[in-house]
Chain A
Amino acid sequence: MTFSWKNMRKKFKIRKEGEDRYLLYIPEYRKLLITNTTGYQTLIYLEKNKSIDEVVEIFQKEYKVDRDTVKKDIENFIEKLKRYNIL
């Protein structure tokens, strides 16, 4: 499944905070979330219209971790983005 990224940039702001920490701010909800490099990279891949399966494959290769774990993590992250109307 590919998510629509339309207007996504306007729905949140992001900044790097330290080695493996990113602050994600959602103005509509005035909510500040903390994510890691993987979360940040997921956002970038989604922006490039990659599907979940494609993102899973990239992380699986890069970090050499099992597919189900990666998929579950990404789905949880996407669920959070949907909750705040980003996706």
Chain B
Amino acid sequence: MKNKNKVPKLKTPVFANLDITSSCNQKCIFCAVSPNRDYNFRKTEHFFRIIDELYNSGIFEMTLFGGEPLLHPEIEKICKYAYDSDLEVNIVTNGTLPDKCDKISRYLNTAGVSIHGFKKTHDKIVNFRNSYERALKSLKTFIENGVNTSVCYTLINQNYEEAPEFIKYIFENYEDVSGCVLDRFVPKGFGVKKRKELEVGIEKINAMLDVLDSLSKEYKKGVTTGDGLPLCLIREDLRYIVQPCQAGVLFTSVTEDGDIKLCPASRTVVGNLFVNSLEEIWNNEWYTKYRSFEWLPKRCKECDLFNVCYAGCKVSRNVEPYSYDIFLEKYEEEV
């Protein structure tokens, strides 16, 4: 059997997510992270130490994540510190705090504002009244401040039908928006129990990518996926839209406690930045085994697309610490 694994072996990752808080003011029905409402925030200096370690480890780009990162009372200071440390700073936010979007814009490389449909659909999905208006205000704020800004749209059955119309609306009314990031539903966190109700199948995802392809060409906007998908199951001419899952290869996820995880949706902690350096963790036994990809189905290991696909989402089956993509389950007998 010929293993096609030629993924880059880096001494440390180049991209990192940093969870600023595990609290969120929304409760999205599909959320893979299942944040709380504790509103207990780590001290700003604590994040400075994490940022120092990330920078010294050679991280190029850091994405502020959560929970809702803008809830942190000193998010502006944290952004500034990262920016001054010469890290590229991105944020993914639910956009419910437009004033804070304004304050941190100057430090950002990119911003993603999560909006999952028109008002009625969006507010119902996120369980937050008037979230829609706030999110659009935040989107406008980032754009007007010159930040490279995208709408992040998580595709579930509840917003599938209106997705084309909504994305078209955004492209038409927010001329300077960079594009749309289409996130797939990952059955973790709040979404576990509602999988059957929420999950969109691979055929419908292909159909939506087809729509995105047309909208992207018509409005000259960028479209991409936020999570990996097995490229072999994606129509060939649409594969360019799919961003491979870079977890464990180029990317790592850091919690507010300094814990290192494969990705934000993963539950398994593989090290802590206050105990070991990122380089030590990245090259430990756990990560080394992960990067061997020997645990993947034969179909993936022998696939010519492997090195541009990385076999889709590793947490989509809700099997810890990682597994092959849920859309590959029908090939399970080949594992």
Q: Which residues of A contact B (CB under 8 A)?
A: 13, 15, 17-18, 23, 25, 27-28, 30, 32, 34
Contact = CB atoms under 8 A, between A and B. Distances in A.
A25 B60 contact: yes
Nearest to B109: A27
A66 B110 CA distance: 44
B213 interface: no
Query: Which among A18, A23, A27, A28 has the highest number of chain B CB atoms within 10 Å?
Result: A27
B58 A25 contact: no
A13 B88 contact: yes
A13 B60 contact: yes
B61 interface: yes
Contacts of A32: 14, 60, 250
Interface residues of B, number: 13
B58 A15 contact: yes
Contacts of A30: 61, 110
22 contacts: A13-B60, A13-B86, A13-B88, A15-B14, A15-B60, A17-B10, A17-B11, A18-B11, A23-B10, A23-B14, A23-B60, A25-B14, A25-B60, A25-B61, A25-B88, A27-B88, A27-B109, A28-B148, A30-B110, A32-B14, A32-B250, A34-B8
Nearest to B88: A27
Contacts of A15: 14, 58, 60
Interface of B: 8, 10-11, 14, 58, 60-61, 86, 88, 109-110, 148, 250
Contacts of B148: 28
B10 A27 contact: no
A15 B250 CA distance: 14
B14 A27 contact: no
Nearest to B224: A30
Contacts of A13: 60, 86, 88
Given A25-B88, A32-B14, A32-B60, 19 more contacts: A13-B60, A13-B86, A13-B88, A15-B14, A15-B58, A17-B11, A18-B11, A23-B10, A23-B14, A25-B14, A25-B60, A25-B61, A27-B60, A27-B61, A27-B88, A27-B109, A30-B61, A30-B110, A34-B8
A18 B14 CA distance: 14
A13 to B, nearest CB: 5
A25 B246 CA distance: 15
Closest 6 CB pairs of A and B: A25-B60, A27-B88, A15-B58, A13-B60, A27-B109, A17-B10
A30 B14 CA distance: 11
Contacts of B110: 30
Nearest to A25: B60
A36 to B, nearest CB: 14
